[in-house]
Structure 1
Amino acid sequence: MPANFRSALQQFIREEAKPIEKYGHQPRLYALTKSIGKGMQYDDDVVFAAAWLHDPGVFGGHRPEDPAALTCWDHVHYACERVPGILSETQFPAEKIPTVLAVICEHQPHDEPTSIEATILRDADILEQLGAIGILRTVCKIRRDTRYATFTDAVQALRKSLDTLPGKIRLESTKRLAEPKIIALRNFLDAVESESAGALF
């Protein structure tokens, strides 16, 4: 496999990720997969490709701009349509492309992963929705994302993450990594509750 396929994928996302802060999700996510999967046997090339290419459908210029169209937009389906061509251009092994697509299709919290690669990526994506990073990723969407018109919308989404996501984690290594993130998110939400005086808006 050419040594530069990873740098080619990174460069593609660097150019396409809009707004710019969306670029950080990919390198952070891959770093989390390395921490989660330490000592496990899995195909790191597949996880790398899926981590870097699972989200082009949420980038500006790729997703619909019309709010109505955006409400029914399937960013995973979009990614699976685009990813084979992107990987082929980087000379990623053709025989591994179906596995990358399967991992992308199973990376969301509501999915049921059927491989260790998908489980690792899904757990990593859950971690990205907790802790300080989860807070930043949610709050920066206020007034830019149709789901988050107000602070209240963002806080409700964060509360839902805290209530539902920890229980969806599969791997023991992820559960250990999640512990400080859960505490940080809980402390933040408690502080919002105590400081807002019922007037968050």
Structure 2
Amino acid sequence: MDPVMQKIHDHARTVMGNGGSHGFDHVERVTSLCERIGRAEGADMAILVPAALLHDIARPLEKECGLPHEQEGARMAEEYLNSLGYDAGAVRIIAAAIRTHRFTTAAEPESLEARILSDADKLDALGAVGIARTFMRAGEHRTTMQDGINHFHEKLLKLPDRMYTKTARQIAAKRHAILLRFLLLMEDEIRVPVP
């Protein structure tokens, strides 16, 4: 990793801390997915990688104060990257990508890099990792296993249809199959047998 990217990586890790369903390990997986998809789709990595590293930088503030992390995160990323002397045009595109990465955001990602970031963030909610994160989240919110299962139906099973890039759609199809298989097994095991 080049020195500037290392600085961005270290800054994001420091601000976010570790742990939880949206901890820095999530950021590292999303960054790795962005690199994979970005190479296949011809993205500008000087925009995509910083956007990925900083996309959830305001998660701790959202948890603490209720600020939408995508909005506050875009502002924080812009401020931080400007302090590094990062290219001003790239900073604007990075901030826009962060602002539009969230599943529940109404605004559509405009740049290729923003679409890839949105895809990678959603991909981390699918497959085996997505299953683990779902039940981590249920524990963090002190809810039940059934709430975790409901989350599959309310959000996760819809994600493959919300992918923007061809590469992400291919990855999503494989991860979606894992979710479906798990859900069938889970629902079968939790049924209460009739005496």
- Shorter chain as normaliser: what TM range? 0.7 to 0.9
Q: Say how many residue pairs are matched.
A: 188
**Structure 2 equivalent of residue 140 of structure 1:** 136
Uncovered stretches (5+) of structure 1, i.e. residues with no partner: none
- Which of 110, 116, 119 is the aligned partner of 2:115? 119
Cα deviations by residue, 1:75-124 (Å, 9 ceiling, x for unpaired): 11111221122112333222311111111112123542211111111111
Q: Deviations for 1:55-92, whole angstroms, at most 9, x for unmatched residues?
A: 12212xx2343xxx64xx31111112211221123332
Structure 1 residues 149 and 19: CA distance shift in structure 2, 3 A: farther
Residue aligning to 1:4? 3
The match for 1:85 among 52, 57, 79 is 79
Equivalent AA in structure 2 for residue 160 of structure 1: E
Structural mapping, 1:1-201, within 5 Å: 3-21=2-20, 22-59=23-60, 62-65=61-64, 70=66, 73-110=67-104, 111-145=107-141, 149-198=143-192
Structure 1 residue 134 displacement after superposition: 1.0
Residue identity matched to 1:7: Q
Conserved? CA contact 1:162–1:186, under 8 Å: no
TM-score by length of 2: 0.86
Q: 1-side partners of 2:164 and 2:152: how far apart?
A: 20
Sequence identity percentage: 26
Q: Give the TM-score normalised by the residue count of structure 1.
A: 0.84
Distance 1:180 1:78, change over 3 A: same
Q: Report the Cα distance in structure 1 between the residues aligned to 2:89 and 2:168, rounded to whole angstroms.
A: 29
Say which is worse superposed, 36-45 or 24-33, in terms of deviation. Answer: 36-45
Contact 1:113–1:122, Cα closer than 8 Å, also in 2: yes
The answer as to whether partners of 1:123 and 1:170 remain within 8 angstroms in 2 is: yes
Runs in 1 of length 4+ with deviation above 4 angstroms?
none
Relative contact order (alpha carbons < 8 A, sep ≥ 6): 1 or 2 greater? 1
